[in-house]
A and B are shown apart, each in its own frame.
Chain A
Amino acid sequence: MTRKYELVYVVSPEASDDQVTDLHNQVEAIVQRIGGSIEKTENWGRRRLAYEIGRHKEGTYVLEVLHGTGELMKEIDRRLKVTDLIIRHLVVRVDEAQAVIERTKARRTATSQRRRVARGLPADRQPGEGQRGDADDDRDDRFDMGNERGMDR
């Protein structure tokens, strides 16, 4: 049963670019050995950490999208845990969540198309149509301000 997973790991800022690629190759090797595939790899580059991990304030983020079994992810997880250069990692299963998102999107477009047809309009949005103007909120009562600040308190 192959599933889709996302793996993000944070590499210590002391690691050189070569070491980062080396880590990627290690992951790739495990994936190939156990029988999976890498859909894509993204290097987010060096970013500031929101909090210190150990004594690090920065880290290099790498994202990998993988297809594989639970056993594969277990092995990868184990390997990343013992790798000192990796200061944090996260494995998330994404296939189910993505299916839900697609279903919601499909349902929404279907509903809108059905309603549009019922109103005698073409099923799809025409360019330039349905742009919301400011008319929605023409009252100058300032009660719509401060939404960001949490007016309730």
Chain B
Amino acid sequence: MNGRKSFGAKKGGRAGAGAGAQGKDGQRRPMFRRRKVCKFCSDKIDDINYKDTKLLLPFVPERAKILPRRISGTCALHQRKLRVALMRARQLALIPYTAE
């Protein structure tokens, strides 16, 4: 990715918000990040159901923790619903609490 630049603000112009302008090694590299959108809003999924493991599994990474909003981009409303669904699914052993 070195030297690759992508100019022009992404949709909404807020794409780079919060991203540091400098890389870790002190090299200057403009960081542009695609603005994350809530999967449930864009796909118009109203029903976040605990039975729907296929839908829930992408939000359960390796360590079986719930993927935080800052990474998945889920909106607050849907993250809340997602959390409830995940916790119900956990109770029924459809998804794990922890990875051993």
Contacts and interface: CB of A to CB of B under 8 A. Distances in A.
Contact of B6 (A63, A97, A143): A143
Nearest to A87: B93
B62 to A, nearest CB: 11
A148 interface: yes
A104 B96 CA distance: 31
Contacts of A15: none
Nearest to A152: B71
Interface string A124-153: 000000000000000101111001101111
Interface of B: 1, 4, 6, 10, 32-34, 36, 44, 46-47, 50-51, 58, 61, 67, 70-73, 88, 90-98, 100
Interface of A: 8, 10, 47, 49-51, 53, 59, 61, 63, 88, 90, 92, 97, 101, 104-105, 108, 139, 141-144, 147-148, 150-153
